[in-house]
Structure 1
Amino acid sequence: MTLRPRAPLVVVGDTLLDRDIEGRAERLAPDAPAPVVDEQARRARPGGAGLSAALAAGDGRPVTLITALARDAGGDELRELLRCFGVEVVDLGLAGTTPEKIRVRAGGRALLRLDRGDGGEPGPVTASGRSALTGAAAVLVSDYGRGLAARADVRAALAALDPDVPVVWDPHPRGPAPVPGARLVTPNAAEAAREVPEPAGRPQGAVAEAAARGAELARRWRAVGACVTLGERGAVLAFAEGTPLAVPARSAAHGDPCGAGDRFASALAALLADGELPSSAVGGAVAVASAFVAAGGAGAVRAETETEAEAAPGAPEDPRALAHRVRAAGGTVVVTGGCFDLLHAGHAAMLGAARSLGDCLIVCLNSDRSVRRLKGAGRPVVREDDRAALLRALACVDAVAVFDEDVPERVLRDLRPHLFVKGGDYHAAELPEAATLAEWGGRAVTVPFVAGRSTSKILEEVALRGA
């Protein structure tokens, strides 16, 4: 599912200035058991509603952000950052200083977060703000509990929207209840539990609890539906009445979840703007948020150049970028290869075993031309795009790299995996990939083979039954 640029998206909410200080921590301070961070890089980006707007604009969609910015250096920096992202800003004015969130990170992990800036009272909604709302294909209210979503005039403008304009409300514990009539509200699991501490029926398990709390919140807030996000477990879409929808998330090894909620909400609102039903929009938003986390989360967001995840939200993981990221984090890169024509139980068992050996699994997939050379006329039965899509749909597969050669030497040199895995019907010493792997110290290994499972046998059985 792709986000197709259509009519504008309007984001309403509090904008913060987020900073990341990246460094190296290799020693403790002499006066306290605290790490000493040698600063290496410092980056700034819009936060809060500003991040949601920037991410939506990165999808190639016209975005207007109705927010309140301070008249200080931080506010000026935010205006310039939002301009670089292509976000049109309706500034209501903020009485006070720019709220900032500063993360100190080392080795890909956050060590400390420092908050500063008093925020202050946002100004009244303007005529340009009302005009932007009137022309919106969808509206995202990104509430960060700093007062804008609580203003009576802002709420009145939202309540006056045409009912056909979908409103997504991303609530905050310090913020007000959503305006009645929202298409979807998107609390996370902790926020839903805070609002509904004891859901009806005493459900057991995270998904069942989220469904019960979501149904209660949809009734309480008079929303069409409530989508409770569960982090790495995905999301649950619930309605006041009816069967809930559970949408699992794709695993994001070594990802950064910072900003995942904003990525989810912005993708959800964009998909609704394009006319998607809530159920399919939630599925698409979960996929986009998962890709965002895997690509490095908010820390990977840049105003100067688009990252792969921003340029093609929900697009397949780039295998080279994934391998580089996992290696840089000290993880083990696992690769396997093959035609995978007519995916069967033996393939699934081998792929699952291969994934368990490391921190990511990349499949080198023979192209259609390569399969024809190896298997002869009439093969492959399934074309390469569909074979790649089926492999990516498996939870154990993190990325797919299609190659044209008989042996994926070029791809292997790009990926430089620690392990190359094949089924036990091969001997590791006989694998043609082994010599290439030896160039950087990689190893070829085999995993147990499921006997009697092969594409050739399946095709033989089909031919016999059709005879």
Structure 2
Amino acid sequence: MAGKAPLVVVGDALLDRDLTGHADRLAPDAPVPVVADCAERVRPGGAALAAYLAARDGRDVTLVTGLDDGPAARELRRLLEPWLTLVALPMSGGLPEKTRVLAQGRPVVRLDRGSGRVHRATAQARAALGPASAVLVSDYGRGTADALRPELRARPPVVWDPHPRGGPPVPGTRLVSPSRSESRLFTAESEEDEGSPAGHDGNELRTVAHEAATLVRHWRAAAVAVTLGARGALLSYGEHPLLVPVTAAHHGDPCGAGDRFAATAAGLLADGALVGEAVEGAVTAATAFVAAGGAGGVLDTPHPPPFGDDPADLIARVRATGGTVVAAGGCFDLLHAGHVGLLQAARRIGDCLVVCVNSDSSVRRRKGEGRPVNPLPDRVRVLNALACVDAVAVFDEDTPERLLAELRPDVWVKGGDYAGADLPEAALLQEWGGQAVLLPYLDGRSSTALMARAAGGGR
């Protein structure tokens, strides 16, 4: 969707692993299940998951978080960098890692390691917050939000997703989104501080409404939305709460649903939605997220391309049989006959075609605000639907040189509307014996011309 506002996410990143197998017996030396044939899936966690999900929505995202130089942080960078801008804060200790072992899709045990903590902000992080139109704080209690608290006080976030280990949201935050268990804990702490613990009468909805109203006052937030899992969320501005139910109950893996809720709510508020509208949209998005399998189900392909074959694997298979690898590139915002003709011709040159497509932020820098019309996941899906396209790879820079250096295609194709001087990739291809070529382009076809005609009513 075009026109989505950019978002800065501030918080503590994790690296999450799922080891998924099956268990049909107990170990002989202890009454514990033996989980066999485990498959490993690695994905962003914590604030990194919230930022990643917002970026996959087609939004320009900057993530400010603590990262060290260890293997877990390097893996997280690999997962995130094609999708968003990373601003790393120095941290002591290693990046926190969370490993779940699942049998028949159900968690058996969780293993945590990494005690890394952010102790100070940087000038780059402060500069990223300065012009930010909207900020989401995803506080997992590892110090990122605390290090930037003065800047956050000066520009209160649109959403603060709290954690028992973290500090309170800054006054003026537009929406705070604790879970039910967090709401109970934070309310008990606030009432203890105020010396006036309230009794609860056994009516859970009444209790949640009391907790949300208490936290609005205690945190001096504009609103608090307590997430209630399969029952939706309760939104309070301090009185007369609004219950936002789910449209359909799902009992899938809820891992990451809170991050999905916070990322959606923050994005909608950044786009100008009212708080109630943002909470309704966030409940819908979190429900769909759980129905799709939670973080594990949605992130089966945790790096571009979101759909289709992995380009590196495809190229390796083609090269193993002595085949020729062809690559073509572009924004492909509104796919038209000129694009299709070019890609069909490119595919006939060799034994596979990899399309290198600009990320949303890259398109925006090249084409201006309002572009792309179609977000990256939609553009990739349409390209992969073409029979002539074997794989899609995404690059975030203005030009694809870095990606081409990784893929090392034998042939690089551009449309005939490019002059030789406009092909800086040509010299790069020569480094590994590749060749850049121009192919004829259907005259008069362009995404810009199509949009101009549409804006003019088709004249």
The TM tier, using the shorter chain, reads: 0.5 to 0.7
Change in 2 beyond 3 A, CA 1:45/1:215: same
Extract unaligned runs of 5+ from structure 1: 309-467
CA shift, 1:304, in A, is: 3.1
Aligned equivalent of 1:263: 260
CA–CA distance in 2 between the matches of 1:254 and 1:306? 28
Alpha carbons 1:185, 1:227 under 8 Å: kept = yes
Secondary structure of the corresponding residue to residue 287 of structure 1: helix
1:437-456 alignment, distance < 5 Å: none
Task: Answer yes or no: is 1:155 the counterpart of 2:149.
Answer: yes
**In structure 1, what is the Cα distance between the partners aligned to 2:88 and 2:79?**
14
How far apart in 2 are the matches of 1:116 and 1:69? 15
Shift, 1:35, TM fit: 1.1
Q: Note if 1:88 corresponds to 2:85.
A: yes
Letter in 1 for 2:145: A
Q: Aligned to 1:101, which of 86, 98, 111? A: 98
What are the equivalent positions in structure 2 for 1:341-352 lying under 5 Å apart?
none
Q: Equivalent residue for 1:230?
A: 228
Q: Which residue of 2 aligns with 1:135?
A: 131
Deviation at 1:48, TM superposition (A): 0.6
Q: Distance in 2 between matches of 1:61 and 1:299?
A: 21
Which range is displaced more, 95-104 or 286-295?
Answer: 95-104
Q: CA deviation at 1:149?
A: 1.6
Mapping of residues 4-403 of structure 1, within 5 Å: 5-84=3-82, 86-120=83-117, 122-151=118-147, 154-161=148-155, 166-197=157-188, 200=198, 202=200, 204-240=202-238, 242-300=239-297, 301=299, 302-304=301-303
Conserved in 2, the CA contact under 8 Å of 1:227 and 1:237? yes
Sort the Cα spacing of 1:123 and 1:89 in 2 relative to 1 into closer, same or farther, 3 A: farther
**How many residues are matched?**
298
Cα distance change, pair 95–42 in 1 and its aligned pair in 2 (3 A): same
Q: Report the Cα distance in structure 1 between the residues aligned to 2:177 and 2:203, rounded to whole angstroms.
A: 19
Rounded to whole Å, the distance in 1 between the matches of 2:285 and 2:304 is 19
Corresponding residue SS for 1:243 = coil
For 2:22 and 2:104, how far apart are their aligned partners in 1? 7
Deviation string, structure 1 residues 318-350 (Cα, Å, up to 9, x no partner): xxxxxxxxxxxxxxxxxxxxxxxxxxxxxxxxx
- Percent sequence identity over aligned pairs: 55
Check conservation: 1:8, 1:135, Cα contact below 8 A: no
Tell me the CA shift for residue 306 of structure 1. 7.3
User: Higher relative contact order by CA 8 Å / sep ≥ 6: 1 or 2?
Assistant: 2
Q: Tell me, yes or no, if the aligned pair for 2:17 and 2:100 is still in contact at 8 Å.
A: yes
Equivalent pair of 1:236/1:246 in contact (CA under 8 Å): yes
CA pair 32-4 structure 1, distance change in 2 beyond 3 A = farther
Shift of the 229–118 alpha-carbon distance from structure 1 to 2, 3 Å rule, reads same
Shift of 1:115: 0.5
Quote the offset at 1:205 in angstroms.
Answer: 2.5
Q: Which deviations, in whole Å up to 9, do the C-alpha atoms of 1:33-81 show, x marking residues without a partner?
A: 1111113311111111000000111100000000001111111111111
Q: Give me the whole-angstrom Cα distance separating, in 1, the residues matched to 2:133 and 2:241.
A: 26
Q: Secondary structure at 2:23's aligned position in 1?
A: strand
Equivalent-residue separation in structure 1 for 2:198 and 2:2 (angstroms): 39
- Letter of the 1:160 partner, please give it: A
- Partners of 2:305 and 2:294 lie apart in 1 by 13
Residues 288 and 203 of structure 1: is their aligned pair in 2 closer, same or farther, counting only changes over 3 Å? farther
1:19 and 1:101 in contact (8 A); partners too: yes
What is the CA–CA distance in structure 1 between the aligned matches of 2:294 and 2:305, rounded to whole Å?
13
TM-score by length of 1: 0.61
CA distance in 2, matches of 1:276, 1:155: 25
Contact 1:235 1:247 in 2 (8 A): yes
CA distance in 2, matches of 1:281, 1:268: 5
How far apart, CA to CA, are the structure 2 residues paired with 1:252 and 1:70?
Answer: 40
Check the 8 A contact 2:13/2:44 in 1, yes or no.
yes
> 2-side partners of 1:192 and 1:138: how far apart?
24
Counterpart of 1:304, as a letter, is H
Give the partner amino acid of 1:119. G
Could you tell me how far 1:204 is from its partner in structure 2? 4.5
Instruction: Provide the rounded CA distance (Å) in 2 between the counterparts of 1:101 and 1:131.
Output: 30
Q: What are the Cα deviations for residues 397-439 of structure 1, in whole angstroms up to 9, with x where unaligned?
A: xxxxxxxxxxxxxxxxxxxxxxxxxxxxxxxxxxxxxxxxxxx
SS in 2 for 1:140: strand
Deviations 1:221-279 (A, max 9, x none): 11101111111111111112x31110012334341100111110010100000100001
CA distance in 2, matches of 1:148, 1:42: 29
Instruction: Give the 3-state SS of the residue equivalent to 2:281 in structure 1.
Output: helix
Q: Distance in 1 between matches of 2:202 and 2:281?
A: 27
Separation in structure 2 between the aligned mates of residue 159 and residue 274 of structure 1, nearest angstrom:
21
| 1:4 CA displacement | 5.9
Question: RMSD in angstroms over aligned alpha carbons?
Answer: 1.9
Residue 212 of structure 1: CA displacement?
1.1
Could you tell me whether the CA contact under 8 Å between 2:7 and 2:133 is conserved in 1? yes
Aligned counterparts of 1:200 and 1:232: Cα–Cα separation in 2:
27
Is 2:79–2:303's contact at 8 Å kept on the other side of the alignment?
no
Secondary structure, aligned partner of 1:36? coil
CA–CA separation in structure 2 for the residues paired with 1:31 and 1:218: 52
SS in 1 for 2:81: helix
